[in-house]
Each structure stands twice: as structure tokens, then as C-alpha cells.
């Protein structure tokens, strides 16, 4: 498993005013919690974190937070962004324990779609119903992604959660809730089979009150 170390500093002052000053100075306020330890307020370099946030692993992998040489393994649990500026406003990290199973969302990587019978057939839609899946495992077993091979996908085929090839020690908790939770991950079907859910109602179906308003105009 690849390691990703991020240097952090302890935050001496907390509060909205202090957080604003940190952001002005190019820092991101953050919190680390869990693991049976007290929460710790920290700060991170915005530029370095912004670059890291462009990578998939930042959201789905175990991160090593280094605070003065003390390294704690964490998962990113929340990220707050500015509504229109390229700014990260706040981060929440949760500590993980080596001997305790965790839950995390892992991205799906779809392979060989263009080489599949469905991918080579004109007028066929290959729909990715899910782009990530929640898994349960020990921290050492957490995959950065799960590959879904679509090489044999034909028109009319679908791939469900239960058909995903998971690494050793990794489970999908949703599958323990019953067959109805074994949802489709990928579906291949003719474009003409698309449901027209957004079709406008016929004039005969328009309520009388709305029809009357139209006539008044």
C-alpha cells in the first residue's frame, strides 16, 4: 500500500477570527479526532494540500499526518471548499487504528470498456451507475481503488456489487443488508431503451386549473 505523508502544525488559537487569519496566511484550519484520543486543532499549507487534493488518493487512502515527527494515520472525512474560489476552507481527519475495521468510500476504475462488445456496438449506452463503493476493512487492506473489468460486457448485461472483485480482507457492508441492496454498478443497453422520465404531460393530463390559466392568457 502506498504511503502519503502530509506535514501539519498544531493550531495555537481557534475561532472564526483565527481561522480567517490562517487562510489569509495561506494555511488551512483542520481538526484530527477519533482513535480514543482528544481532538487536536491543526493547520496545513494550502498550496501543498491543494496539489494533493487533485489526486484520487487524497480522498480514499490512509494519510500519514506528521506533526513534529509524530505520525498519525488518518482518513479524510470532510472537506469544506469556498463556493466559488479555488480555496479549501477546512478539513476533518479521523484517526484510524491498525486493529480496527474502518469504512471508507473507494473509487471504481472501469477497464476495457471501449474493447467490450457493448463498447464496440453503435447505439449502445454503457451506464456507470456507481463511481465509488463503500467498503469495510482493516487500514492495511484499504485499496486506493477497485478495478471493474468491462472487457466481456455485452448489450443487456449488467454488473452488480456482488460481482466486483475485491482485494483480500475487503468487504462491501451493503451486501449484508439483503439481495435488494445488490445494486447494479454498470448497465449496457440500447439508447432507444432509455426511459423518458422527463417527458412533458399531454394536454389532456394538465389539471383543469392550469388549463384555464392558459386559456386566460
Residue ranges covered by each domain of the chain: 5-95, 102-193
What is the band of 127 on the pLDDT scale with cuts at 50, 70, 90? very high
Closest CA to 61 of 96, 90, 112, 27: 96
- The residue length of the chain stands at 217
Question: What would the pLDDT profile of 16-39 be if each residue is shown by its tens digit?
Answer: 777 888 888 999 999 999 988 899
pTM: 0.78
Which CATH architecture best describes the domain 5-95? Beta Barrel (2.40)
Residue 208, pLDDT above cutoff 70: no
For residue 21, the model assigns a pLDDT of 84
Question: What would the pLDDT profile of 98-126 be if each residue is shown by its tens digit?
Answer: 999 999 999 999 999 999 999 999 899 99
- Strand 88-95 vs strand 27-34: parallel, antiparallel, or unpaired? parallel
Average pLDDT over residues 157-164: 96
For residue 202, the model assigns a pLDDT of 53
- CB under 8 Å to 21, separation ≥6 — which residues? none
Residue 5, pLDDT above cutoff 80: yes
CATH 2.170.120.20 fits 102-193, yes or no: yes
Backbone angles phi, psi at 151, to 5 degrees: -55, -30
Asked if 32 and 93 touch (Cβ cutoff 8 Å), the reply is yes
Amino acid at each position: 500500500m502506498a504511503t502519503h505523508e502530509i506535514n501539519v502544525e498544531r493550531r495555537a488559537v481557534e475561532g472564526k477570527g483565527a481561522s480567517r487569519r490562517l487562510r489569509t496566511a495561506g494555511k488551512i484550519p483542520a481538526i484530527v479526532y477519533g482513535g480514543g484520543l482528544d481532538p487536536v486543532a491543526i493547520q496545513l499549507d494550502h498550496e501543498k494540500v491543494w496539489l494533493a487534493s487533485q489526486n484520487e488518493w487524497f480522498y480514499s487512502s490512509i494519510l500519514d499526518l506528521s506533526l513534529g515527527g509524530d505520525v498519525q494515520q488518518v482518513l479524510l472525512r470532510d472537506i469544506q471548499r469556498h463556493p466559488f474560489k479555488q480555496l479549501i476552507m477546512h478539513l476533518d481527519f479521523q484517526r484510524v487504528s491498525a486493529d480496527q475495521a474502518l469504512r471508507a468510500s473507494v473509487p471504481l476504475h472501469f477497464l476495457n470498456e471501449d474493447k467490450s462488445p457493448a463498447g464496440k456496438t453503435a447505439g449502445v449506452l454503457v451506464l456507470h451507475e456507481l463511481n465509488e463503493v463503500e467498503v469495510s476493512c482493516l487500514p492495511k487492506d484499504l485499496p486506493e481503488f477497485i478495478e471493474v473489468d468491462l472487457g466481456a460486457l455485452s448489450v443487456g448485461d449488467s454488473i452488480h456489487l456482488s460481482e466486483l472483485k475485491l482485494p483480500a480482507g475487503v468487504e462491501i457492508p451493503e451486501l449484508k443488508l439483503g439481495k435488494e441492496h445488490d445494486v447494479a454498478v454498470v448497465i449496457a443497453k440500447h439508447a432507444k431503451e432509455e426511459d423518458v422520465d422527463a417527458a412533458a404531460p399531454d394536454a389532456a393530463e394538465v389539471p383543469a386549473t392550469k388549463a384555464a390559466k392558459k386559456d386566460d392568457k
